[in-house]
Amino acid sequence: MPPFDHTRFRLPRGVRADAVLAVGVFVLVALAEGQQLGRGGNSTSSPAASWFLVTAVCGALLLRRRYPVAVGWFTVAGTGAYHVLSAVDGPLVLVPVVALYAIAARGRTQAAVAMAAAMVIGVGAGTLVTTSDVTGTAVFMLTGWLVAVVALGVARHGRVAYAEEQARLRTAEERLRIAREVHDVVGHNISMINVQAGAALHRLKKDPAQAEEALGAIKAASRETLRELRATLGVLRQVDEEAPTAPAPGLARVEELAASAGLSGLRVRIERTGAERSLSAPVDLAAYRIVQESLTNAARHSGGGDVTVRLGYGEEGLALAIEDDGRGAAAVRPAGAGGGSGIAGMAERARALGGELTAGPRAEGGFVVRARLPYAVTAEPRERRDG
């Protein structure tokens, strides 16, 4: 005998589940009516009306997802009328209970409470004015069951609302991360291209050789921009493409940033202190982007010529300092003044990792960006690489 495959067996959902429930309740009512007749009792004073109510109440369950409140009240009224006409108690009440849960799970708490109250009042009134064997204890137990059903529905609604809110927050965070990543990927190289293009235009007639060198730098920067942009978009598309052969952005490529900035006229010096550690991917990428954005700002706005990049590997975190000898406070274009949000983006990166970032003019002139990034993972120090 082949083993049971639980992955192929799935309970019905949606309208199919409602149809199965409606048919099941109808069968239970029919069996109860048959048992009543088999005992020689008169199950109903009006068979045609009773069966019409059973069919209508069970059939209304198929519409509960589209009209939950209307279906709920209809099933309550129909079930009450059926119990007035029939001597059979029990099975049909499952339909308004399911409708009650559905209303509460939709967040319609007031309608659910009103519906439950109407059911309790109706059963209590029927007990008082008829010779039914339903006692006060049974009414009390029914009240408890209905309160539990409403509470379960409200809890379900709360869980769904919380999950949706978390999904919206994750989506917003992912959009922010993508926007920041694209800005960092494209902004640095485009800024370098802009600087080199201006230099090429300025030198074209006076010094064609230097203009040719600037155009070569533009070609290299544009090629790098396209490569990184394609890699970023490939991750977003999540398609089975050939894996990129270039190393991922990280401090291992900080010398490439220095060389790229050097093409725009900056003289970049890299200083390392402390025993280097293996950084987690998020910390390594954040450090790379902070250095990249700082060099971009220095090339575009500082007017200086010398930049020092200091990487300090401490016991608890990585310390970054990017200093230039430019125009100080004027080195960074204010956010919203026709520029980007580079400083704000760097600060967001640092905060997202539990670190911090500050930026401002130096007392001796120029501008400095300082950041502290905690190590995401603990790693053994390795032999320091000379920069």
Residue 76 neighbours by CB under 8 Å, 6+ apart: 96, 99, 115, 118, 119, 122
**How confident is residue 337, by pLDDT bands cut at 50, 70 and 90?**
very low
End-to-end CA distance of the chain: 69
Per-residue pLDDT for 338 more than 50? no
Homologous superfamily of 250-387? Histidine kinase-like ATPase, C-terminal domain (3.30.565.10)
pLDDT score of 270: 92
**How confident is residue 379, by pLDDT bands cut at 50, 70 and 90?**
very low
Specify the higher pLDDT residue, 9 or 270: 270
* Cβ-count burial 222-259 (b if 16+ within 10 Å, e if not): eebbeebeebbeeeeeeeeeeeeeeeebbbebbeebbe
Q: Domain-by-domain residue ranges, the chain?
A: 15-134, 250-387
What's phi and psi for 371, nearest 5 deg? -140, 150
What's phi and psi for 303, nearest 5 deg? 75, 5
Stretch 145-170: mean pLDDT, rounded?
88
* Type of residue numbered 366: G
Which stretches within 204-253 are classed as H helix?
A: 208-237
pLDDT tens digits for range 99-125: 888 889 888 889 889 988 888 887 777
